[in-house]
Amino acid sequence: MKSIIPSKVSLREVRPDDLPILFEHQMDPEGARMAAFKSRERDAFMAHWTKIMANPACAIRVILADGFVAGHIGPWTDGAERLVGYWIGRECWGRGIASAALTQFLDYETTRPFTARVAKHNLASIRVLQKAGFTPAGKETCDLPDGDKLVELVFKLR
């Protein structure tokens, strides 16, 4: 049975030796389903992260729970929108780690408004966003490569 006792959560810069752990997180089929995200193969993943880490303006952070890499969180800009996203390894789900990490990150990254997008079926992430003060701001439907449709909820933090 998984403990529901919150871990000690902290954030730090991403290091190259974190990448194999973050790669495994995004390869988890259940995590990818919850995020409605297509996992990248190793070379594509490493190239993507090398580019991110080389950007001096990069504010992406590793989430540590009790000193171990639990996931990552970070912002990006898409057009006029400033977005935030995170990924928590499945072994850390349900322990309050995402909520604690998002709260800490929003204290660090003070840009507002912030937008977050989440798959409609990802109830846990919806709750994390709501607890951090994000409010519903709409929804969008997009076509997935397999022909299915994805409903993505849009949240804003003003």
pLDDT for residue 67: 93
pLDDT for residue 6: 61
Quick one: pLDDT band at residue 69, thresholds 50, 70, 90? very high
pLDDT for residue 21: 98
- Provide DSSP, the chain: ----SPPPEEEEE--GGGHHHHHHHHH-HHHHHHHT-PPPPHHHHHHHHHHHHH-TT---EEEEETTEEEEEEEEEEETTEEEEEEEE-GGGTTSSHHHHHHHHHHHH---SSEEEEEETT-HHHHHHHHHTT-EEEEEEEEE-TTS-EEEEEEEEE-
Average pLDDT estimate for 137-147: 86
Average pLDDT estimate for 49-76: 93
pLDDT for residue 82: 93
pLDDT at residue 1 greater than cutoff 50: no
Q: In this structure, what token pair is assigned to residue 127? A: 């709750």
pLDDT for residue 5: 56
Its pTM surpasses 0.75: yes
| Greater model confidence, 84 or 6 | 84
Average pLDDT estimate for 15-27: 97
| Contact (Cβ atoms closer than 8 angstroms) between residue 108 and residue 11 | yes
Q: How many other C-beta atoms can be found within 10 angstroms of the C-beta atom of residue 85? A: 17
